[in-house]
Amino acid sequence: MILAESAGFCYGVRRAVELAQKTAEESGGCWMLGDLIHNAHVVEELSRRGVRKTEDPARLGPGDTVVIRSHGELKSTLDALERQGVTCVNATCPNVCRIQKLAAQVEREGRRLVIIGEPHHPEVIGAASWCRDPLIFDGPDSVKMWLAERPENRETPLTVAAQTTCIRELFETSWKILKKECTNVKIFDTICNATHKRQAEAASIAGKVDVMVVVGDRKSANTKHLTEICTKRCPRVFQIENADELSPDFFNGCSVAGLTAGASTPAGIIKEVYATMSEEIRAAEGKEESFEELLNQSFKTLNTGEKVTGIVTAITPTEVQVDVGAKQAAYIKLSELSDDPSAKPEDIVKVGDEIETYIVRVNDVEGYAELSKKRLDAVKVWENIETAVEEKTVLEGTVTEENKGGIVVSVKGVRVFVPASQSGQPRGADLSAMKGQKVQLRITEVNRARRRVVGSIRSVADEARKAAQEEVWANIEVGKHYTGTVKSMTSYGVFVDIGGVDGMVHISELSWSRIKTPSEVCKVGDTLEVYVISFDPEKRKISLGVKDRSVDPWTNFMNTYGVGDVANVRIVKLMTFGAFAEVVPGVDGLIHISQIADRRIDKPEDVLSEGQMVDVKITAIDEEKKKISLSIRALLAPAAEEPAEEAPVEE
């Protein structure tokens, strides 16, 4: 018999059941809307513990407490419960909550949500209620049908997610069709990791056995999918709800049998089915074994170099004792528990914990086995690193040092060398500045024998930058606002990064005031609030603005000053006929050369200089032409009369 390690309660189901039990105990009884999980046995047990069931939310009112089922609930139902004053304990699976949040985000972004899954499943119906006009496809055939209905469907911006228990092959086939046929598609893999692991393990076992048994409630979607997956790999597959449904006929001519269970199946039922299957198989083989034989068979055979899983039974100052289901007593020396010499055993494991270890040595004479967690952890890390190369997984690590030619990044204790060219930094940059930083990278080369691992930060950064650029170009529009960073400056403007794409702010769009260089108002690295003036997708050019167009400088001037008022102004430009001065940002006035001084001058620069602050009197305002006349002379004291020139004496 082969029992799937992943069979039974997943994290989300276990959490929902424990929350319901705890809530019932603390509140003296509570409610659930429909079945908390898809398992009649568990629902009946919860009912006996005080978790009453109702299908009608309207029955509940102030003072009532309801536990929201693991599959989630309609948003309208949750809103109604809140209005009714009902206390809600949210036991929705975190993976389902992620889809609900994604649906709400899609709503805000003006996109259309696509869920690949069962249209009538409560999880799918609930998640779809968090946005308007969602699309639900049960597989590639319905995707193709929707695309064939109208050609304009291909232009719809789509965000694609999956029911958490969806068969991966079904999801991937569906989204690949949408990605190929549609112009704007985002993919979110929302299949639960535990579901994927359970399905992969079930497929693997089904390919090795003569008979496969799948245990779970018939309303459970993930159990149904397990059965479908196993049927493709094994000729005889039976789906049952409990041990009572087993029959000796299932196992006629069977040499090897497999057993797995859906995420809503409690451990007690799995154990009962396992025991009954063992008896049925034995009966089908016509064998009668003694108690001693059965007892000996129940013990594991331990072999040096193998992996073994056990339960921590005791922690002493020198070792951790582990029950591995064998005749031998098993223990882990503290030195074999962790790579960290300062780590305390009780911080790593606790009595009752399940622990996976590596068998270092078996002494059958003295009846003990030495185990090592540290060595198995090291093996797992290397296996994960090798898998990361094949699957091009993005890993996270910390830069620990700079050395000749690059940097070293620690990824789960493994030293990964990143060449300078793959560091993501400009050529010649000081790589020591990266020390201590957390970085994302891909593994590009592994030589386990030489313990050499090479990685690339640049490939991840380039991919992220490309994705960000596509995101910007897919959603850009005139008038849209961005928070950007000044990347470079020229004499005519600045280039601003708005999320992987650079746009140009012309010097005239940086400020209402007249400026000679962009450095007067900003510098490289500054954050600017910008908006899109225009863009050209073909040439990949974006024109940005900073000036607040909702503010009219002329209106500001007219609300502040009038003819006869005195203003302190800044000289912004000198001409042969006078000087222009900024009265308020965006509004200039002219000081005619005759109004600069109380005496005749040849040119304005004899008295004034650009940037100088002076007091002037506003002598005239032309509202139609938006022109202002200014005078310095009007504020000066009248000059003493000059003596009249004597007439020439006539000869």
152 included as an active-site residue: no
Residue 300 DSSP symbol: B
**Hey, what's the torsion of the CAs at 434, 436, 437, 441, to 10 degrees?**
90
Q: Report the alpha-carbon distance of residue 35 to residue 13 in Å, rounded.
A: 12
SS3 316: coil
Report the amino acid identity of residue 554. W
SS3 216: coil
**Beta-carbon contacts of residue 52 (< 8 Å; ≥ 6 apart):** 29, 30, 31, 32
SS3 102: helix
Locate tokens 């399940």: which residue? 354
CA distances from 253 to 38, 210, 250, 277, 642 (A): 33, 8, 9, 14, 132
Q: What are phi and psi of 30, to 5 degrees?
A: -150, -175
Token code pair at residue 74: 């309609």
Token code pair at residue 470: 């596509």
What DSSP string runs through 160-213? EEE-TT--HHHHHHHHHHHHHH-SSEEE---S-HHHHHHHHHHHHHHTT-SEEE
Q: Report the alpha-carbon distance of residue 292 to residue 153 in Å, rounded.
A: 69
| CA–centroid distance for 428 within its chain | 33
**Beta-carbon contacts of residue 571 (< 8 Å; ≥ 6 apart):** 579, 580, 581, 608, 609, 610, 611, 612, 613, 614
Give the sheet arrangement for strand 30-33, strand by strand.
51-54, 30-33, 65-68, 87-90
Q: Report the alpha-carbon distance of residue 617 to residue 116 in Å, rounded.
A: 73
364-380 core/surface letters (b: 16 or more CB in 10 A; e: else): eeeeebbbbbbebbbee
SS3 253: coil
Q: Which residues pair with 591 in a beta bridge?
A: 579, 630
| Burial of residue 261 (number of CB atoms within 10 Å: 0-12, 13-18, 19+) | buried
Token code pair at residue 626: 């938006």
**Hey, what's the torsion of the CAs at 435, 439, 442, 445, to 10 degrees?**
10
H/E stretch holding 582 reads strand 578-584
SS3 74: coil
Token code pair at residue 554: 């002329």
Please give, one letter per residue, the 3-state secondary structure of 108-132.
Answer: HHCCEEEEECCCCCHHHHHHHCCCC
Q: Which of 123, 280, 336, 582 is catalytic?
A: 123
Q: Report the alpha-carbon distance of residue 543 to residue 537 in Å, rounded.
A: 12
| Burial of residue 386 (number of CB atoms within 10 Å: 0-12, 13-18, 19+) | middle
Q: Report the alpha-carbon distance of residue 651 to residue 358 in Å, rounded.
A: 132
Residues involved in catalysis: 123
